Structure 1
């Protein structure tokens, strides 16, 4: 059994101003996406500056969509009891599924502005997302969030505030699968131009499968519990449509062109 690392969720305190590790993890994710996006921007006709503009809209989509999604899917009662709670994002509580919807809306707007096909843009951004997902899960772990179920495996650890029993470090499982493994897989798949929609489809399928599997060792939200069958969680329920949509996109992509655009540098 391992000990839960004693990491202060507050990274830096400057008088009344506190900078939390959870927020810094999001910054890390966006910086990594900005850097990697600039490497491939010209493939779809974007300039390096366009990448920064796109990520600005994407950041708004992640934060607003993620927080509203969590409030609707997991914390509606708390939101109704304390309406200002939804603005305290440093307390944790961000929904991936809500954040995904926010990014899709931002992508739809940006694709329209730049004259790009929607799935051309989502294929471009899909490999950039996992680093932020992995970093966010590490932020959850530092915040003592996403506790796992009890285990006797040697890497289990007592979860702060949940007694002496060892539990799965489920947030770290998600950081590994949704972060590192998903990034490597999508970066390899997208190493050369692919048919439109293929990379987006694989993102949905792989994320959905990884999240579904980890839900078996992650504690369901205490105020929700199991949705059905004493094993189906809200995370599983929200993830199943992603897997189905991803498989549909992969099949649809077979009829689509390999989508590559070269920017006009004459002007």
Structure 2
């Protein structure tokens, strides 16, 4: 039998006190915004897009807050936890409990960009075409944080690079196993939330690790697949197109982002374990179902761009 990697990473980078901790998830968001900022400044200096280099900082700051964070959280509550949101609307602001939806974050960014463009009387799609180049880096960091947290892992597999995630103990099919069944004392007789805490707990009894290995199933590290496709590969494609075809009409690159993201997301979802308690729609996972609409949105952007989109060269020349 293969000795599969047992995930035991901590979600915390630095812990100053019980209440004050720096989490990888929060750090990933900061890094995503920062690298997106760098990309947008770089493109603006090349004369691409509607924003000037000195405008990018303010735009990214508020786009991060009102677009990604608020949109991502609201999207998660409406698309994946609607009953919980109706029962307790204030749970929307409990960001520390986790729960963000990439589809919601993308929608939030689009709406904030539209508002910003209207207010400053500049091209919405001109902003978007630079924004979508840097955004996949944010997705990459987010998926890496998902992996570190041991969440959103893949389906069962026997590939040599499969991994075991102790957080699987929270899945419905393993919830009948309690720490006391293994001779372990734990608060509430339930396993902790994170991999490293579970591993540390089971190590307190002689045969705890063996029992843990026996009940866990090898799974695809689908978070890494998504990071590679939706993040790194998508960034490389969009950046290459942006700098090579500088005279593409505004909106074309945005359309390409929506279509490629949806294709990558739908593909990887076939290897990702469906979220607990969330039923499929028309035989598709929620992620796949919502991504199909992104393809239609992307096609609309492409049609608009090629037919009516302003060309960057004209924009830089001062034409409206």
TM-score, reference length from structure 2: 0.77
Alpha-carbon distance in structure 2 between the residues aligned to 1:45 and 1:59: 18
CA shift, 1:22, in A, is 0.3
| Structure 1 range deviating more: 105-114 or 207-216 | 105-114
Describe the superposition over 1:125-170 as per-residue Cα deviations: whole angstroms up to 9, x where unpaired: 1101000001001111111111211011111111223242101111
CA shift, 1:240, in A, is 0.3
Match of 1:62 among 64, 68, 79: 68
For the pair 1:251 / 2:256, whether they are aligned, the reply is no
For the pair 1:29 / 2:32, whether they are aligned, the reply is yes
Alpha-carbon distance in structure 1 between the residues aligned to 2:164 and 2:279: 21
For the pair 1:53 / 2:94, whether they are aligned, the reply is no
SS of residue paired to 1:190: helix
CA, structure 1 residues 239+45, in 2 after alignment: closer, same or farther (shift >3 Å)? closer
CA shift, 1:82, in A, is 4.6
In the alignment, what sits opposite 2:209?
Answer: none
Q: Conserved in 1, the CA contact under 8 Å of 2:151 and 2:167?
A: no
CA shift, 1:6, in A, is 2.1
Q: Conserved in 1, the CA contact under 8 Å of 2:73 and 2:99?
A: yes
Alpha-carbon distance in structure 1 between the residues aligned to 2:118 and 2:143: 32
- In our comparison, the structure showing a higher alpha carbon Rg is 2
Alpha-carbon distance in structure 1 between the residues aligned to 2:117 and 2:310: 17
Instruction: Give 5+ residue unaligned stretches, structure 2.
Output: 169-214
CA shift, 1:45, in A, is 4.9
In the alignment, what sits opposite 2:253?
Answer: 199
Q: Conserved in 1, the CA contact under 8 Å of 2:7 and 2:164?
A: no
Describe the superposition over 1:177-223 as per-residue Cα deviations: whole angstroms up to 9, x where unpaired: 01100000000111123112110010000000000011111111111
In the alignment, what sits opposite 1:175?
Answer: 227
In the alignment, what sits opposite 1:17?
Answer: 20
CA shift, 1:84, in A, is 4.2
Measured on the aligned residues, the alpha-carbon RMSD in Å equals 1.8
Alpha-carbon distance in structure 2 between the residues aligned to 1:97 and 1:7: 27
In the alignment, what sits opposite 1:187?
Answer: 239
| Structure 1 range deviating more: 23-32 or 142-151 | 142-151
Alpha-carbon distance in structure 2 between the residues aligned to 1:204 and 1:77: 28
Describe the superposition over 1:54-95 as per-residue Cα deviations: whole angstroms up to 9, x where unpaired: 101210210001001101111123334454433232332111
In the alignment, what sits opposite 2:185?
Answer: none
TM-score, reference length from structure 1: 0.92
Question: Any runs of at least 4 consecutive aligned residues in structure 1 with deviations exceeding 6 A, and if so which?
Answer: none
Alpha-carbon distance in structure 2 between the residues aligned to 1:204 and 1:49: 27
In the alignment, what sits opposite 2:216?
Answer: 164
Q: Conserved in 1, the CA contact under 8 Å of 2:50 and 2:123?
A: no
Describe the superposition over 1:85-131 as per-residue Cα deviations: whole angstroms up to 9, x where unpaired: 33232332111111111111110111123221211111121101000
Alpha-carbon distance in structure 1 between the residues aligned to 2:87 and 2:149: 23
Match of 2:146 among 130, 134, 140: 140
In the alignment, what sits opposite 2:190?
Answer: none
Q: How many positions carry a matched residue from both structures?
A: 262
Q: Conserved in 2, the CA contact under 8 Å of 1:44 and 1:263?
A: no
Alpha-carbon distance in structure 1 between the residues aligned to 2:117 and 2:101: 24
